[in-house]
Structures are given as structure tokens and as C-alpha cells.
Amino acid sequence: MKLNKVLFGMMFTASAVSALAVAKAPVIDVNANSIDSSALTEQLTTLSRKLDSRNKAQVNIQRQLDLLQTEVNELRGATELHTHQLSQVLERQRELYQEIDRRVNEVLESTSKAASVTTNPMATISTAENATSYSDNLTENETYDRALNLVLKDKRYKQAIIEFNAFNKSFPNSSYAPNAHYWLGQLLFNQGELVKANTAFLIVVNKYKDSTKRPDALLKLAMVAQKQNDVKKAITSYQKLLKEYPNSTAAKLAKPRLASLTN
């Protein structure tokens, strides 16, 4: 009987302990955990989608930058090519002008000796006044072209002297000034007015040191001195030309003339 009571007491105690354990065990909300996991998954999906969009945007931007860089390189290449071609055109134009000047000078020198012009003094004065008045009403380019055409086309050399004098007075700072003074000196030289020609050539040599006409002006200064029988001055001018412009056309013309004075 006692044994049964003991067993029953042990069973009751065990039941009580089990009940207490069950009462104190934590309650797990399965549904709540499911909701948190779903929200986290959605956030991760959204973040992943944003990252993909940003990566695609960066790829597009990089592609556009590469395209723009390619276009810039192409434009730079085209610009360099056009600049080079323009430089070649300008250089060729300068060479043509120099060749024209050289040939015209040769014609002037060969024809000045045989030229004989008879004019009425009063008519010359009237023409000079009209020419000066007419030139004053023209632009710089028109005035220079008019004077040049009197030499190249009309072969009116005395009238051209008047026109170049008028041009030099009206446009002293013109880009054509060194050429205009040189042409004036050449025309005066051909007319035998050596002192005035020397003055015109000196202006080119002393005032326009970067002009392409300077070596030709040096040559003509030496030729003026030679015609004036100033051998020392002629030799000095020829030597200066050869020293400063050894590869110029004027230097090639100066060498035999200098040799004739020094030998």
C-alpha cells in the first residue's frame, strides 16, 4: 500500500513539473516570422533591381562617353587635316605671288630701256590730280589693285608711280605697304630716278624686316649703288643679302654681280 502511494506521488510530481515546463516554454509566432522574411526578400529584390538599373545606366553613360570621344578625335583629325591643307594653299599662293613679281620685274627691266613715253606736261598734272582724287575715294584693296594693274595690265609706268605714291600716303599701315614701296622703288629704278628708288627700297629694308620683299629690296639697293658707281656700298649690300638670305632667289642673282665687283 505504501509502495503505491510513493509511486503515485512520484507520478504526480512528474506531471506537475511537466505542466510547469509547458507553461514556461516560449511561444513562437510562425506567421510573424513568415511576414518578416517575405519583407526582407522583397527589399533585397528591390535593391537588386536598383543596382541592375544603376549598372545599366553607367554602362550607357560610358558608351555615350566613348562615342563622344571618338567623334572628338575624328573632328580633331579633320581640323588638323584642313589646317595643313590651308597652310599648303597659302604657301603655294605666296610662291605664285613671288613668281609673278619676279617675272614682272624682269619684264620691267627689259622694257624700261626701250620705253620712250612722250606726254603733255599739263595733261600729266591733270591726270595726277584726278588719279589722286579717284584713289582717295577707293578702299585700300581697290587702290592697291588699281596701282598694280597700271603696271601689269596697262603698262602705264609713270601713272603707276603716282598711284603707288598716293597709296603709301593714304594707307601707311597697310599690309600691302612693303610691296607698294618695293613696286614704287622698282618703277623709279627703271625710270632712272636712282635717289628716289634708293629711298623706297630703304623703307622696305629698314621698316619691314619680316616682309618677303626685303631680300629683293636689298638686291635693288646694291644695284642702285652699283649704277651710282659706289662699289663699296654695292659690295656691302650684296654681302648683307647673301648673309641674311642665302637661299633666296635674290641671293642667287646677287652672287654673279658680287663676283664681278670683287674679282
What pLDDT, on a 0 to 100 scale, did the predictor assign at position 21? 45
**Its pTM surpasses 0.75:** no
pLDDT per residue as tens digits for the range 9-51: 544 444 544 444 444 444 445 454 555 778 888 888 888 888 8
Residue 185: strand, helix, or coil: helix
For 105, residues 6+ apart whose C-beta sits below 8 A from its C-beta are 186, 216
pLDDT (tens, 9 = 90+) of the chain, 263 residues, equals 444 444 445 444 445 444 444 444 444 454 545 557 788 888 888 888 888 888 888 888 888 887 787 777 677 667 766 776 776 676 666 666 656 666 666 655 555 444 433 333 333 323 333 333 333 446 888 888 889 889 888 889 999 999 999 999 999 999 999 999 999 999 999 999 999 999 999 999 999 999 999 999 999 999 999 999 999 999 999 999 999 999 999 999 999 999 999 87
Look up residue 28 and give its DSSP letter. P
d(CA 183, CA 160): 9
